[in-house]
Amino acid sequence: MGACEQPGASLARRLAGELLQAWDSGDAAKVHAQLEHSIGMPIEACDAREEERRQVLKAVAGRMWKCPDLFEFRPQSPVLEVCGRMLGHLASPD
């Protein structure tokens, strides 16, 4: 069922939450699987707000993919700190 068929559904919100949970778990395999899902999701959505969320999530996931150590203590890495904050924002309800 597509995003247009589920009013209020947000693929970006769900994927951001799943990525954040995987990252917090410290499981590298789960993180990489979630990064692949987020990077590979379609941008097209039923509304502009969801499309924007998807674009931001893809950008965050793409940046995380390039990080050599995703499990570095986040306050020590400004890039990872921003990624964590963005994922938290995307995963939170409106």
Profile the chain (94 residues) by mean pLDDT over runs of 10 residues.
54 96 94 96 92 96 91 77 94 86
Closest-CA residue to 59 (of 19, 24, 86):
86
pLDDT for the residue numbered 55: 97
pLDDT for the residue numbered 73: 66
pLDDT for the residue numbered 93: 86
pLDDT for the residue numbered 5: 44
pTM (two decimals): 0.86
